[in-house]
Amino acid sequence: MRLDEWVAKRFGLSRRGAREAIARGQVDVAGQICLEPRREINPEVPLCYCPGRPRPAVAARRLQVLYEDEHVLIADKPAGVLTQPTRDRERDTLLERAGRYLMRSRGVKRPYVGIVHRIDRDTSGVVLLVCSPAALRPFQALFRAHSIERSYIAVAEGEISPACGTIDRPLVVDRGDGRRGTARRADAGSRAITHYESLERFGGTATKLLCRLETGRTHQIRIHLSEAGHPLVGERVYRSRTRPPFPVAFPRQALHAQGLGFVHPFTGQAMNIEASLPDDLTNLVAILRSRYGRATRPGD
């Protein structure tokens, strides 16, 4: 029997009402949302109708708030979403989502949202925004002084040795081919320091890392690891074209802004805000574990 037929019969809906409920993502088949009204199903398969559930696209555009107060709003940015619009004036950005959220939650028609720092479109994780003009400069000062602890989870190609270390190589806007990269001379470029620690090794195929930024340059982790011979899984820009394809496909760079730590400039409170690893990275790690095993310490 078709799904829309069974939903109409089971929950007392018209056929049209059943199709609309399925299209809105309000029907689960065996515990999973199904958006296919014509799908043939066994009547014994468990069905669930959730009329109050929002459309998946609407839910996906909601702001995932990790912390907020009158000065600051800290959100978990999903991969694929810009922090702020580019010259193309994209509409669905973290900035736009934050504005809509503050309009609803605080009843302000034109809420102030200030950008203090950014992460790449395809990097997920913690982003700090300010929601009052008075808060912009104090938080900008924290980032300029490198007084904010910034930690990232990364999955890089190959086995990284030593297991813990520091990459201290200045970055330049153009390394000679029109792309950002490390400077050839120690006295050139902007100082960039990345501390890393191996969390898991998957044979010699990949390594899961905790990276901490002492400086926060554009694409710093991506460039440092790529030029050390260990590009991020899914890296498209800085990965050498001569490298063989990575055996596990991944649609973005495997990088997640895990946390921010700082002393709140208005309250004096020590803050440590973290975002859980998103599903796509969790699944990538699970695949690597199942195929290549795991070791959590050198020599395991």
Phi, psi angles (nearest 5°) of residue 79: -60, 145
Pick from 44, 35, 45, 47: which is nearest to 8 by CA? 47
120 is an active site residue: yes
Query: Exposed/middle/buried for 186, CB within 10 Å: 0-12, 13-18, 19+?
Result: exposed
Distance CA 95, CA 101 (A): 10
Is the C-alpha dihedral spanning 201, 275, 257, 244 positive or negative?
A: positive
The answer to whether 220 and 169 have CB atoms below 8 angstroms apart is no
Pick from 97, 77, 83: which is nearest to 256 by CA? 77
The answer to whether 202 and 289 have CB atoms below 8 angstroms apart is yes
Phi, psi angles (nearest 5°) of residue 140: -60, -40
First CA to last CA distance, the chain: 53
Distance CA 150, CA 133 (A): 23
Bridge partners, 150 (sequence order): 213, 260
Please give the DSSP secondary-structure letter assigned to residue 217. Answer: -
Pick from 101, 109, 108, 103: which is nearest to 74 by CA? 101
Distance CA 66, CA 294 (A): 31
Element (H, E) at 233: none
120, 122, 174, 187: the active-site residue: 120
Enumerate the active-site residues. Answer: 120
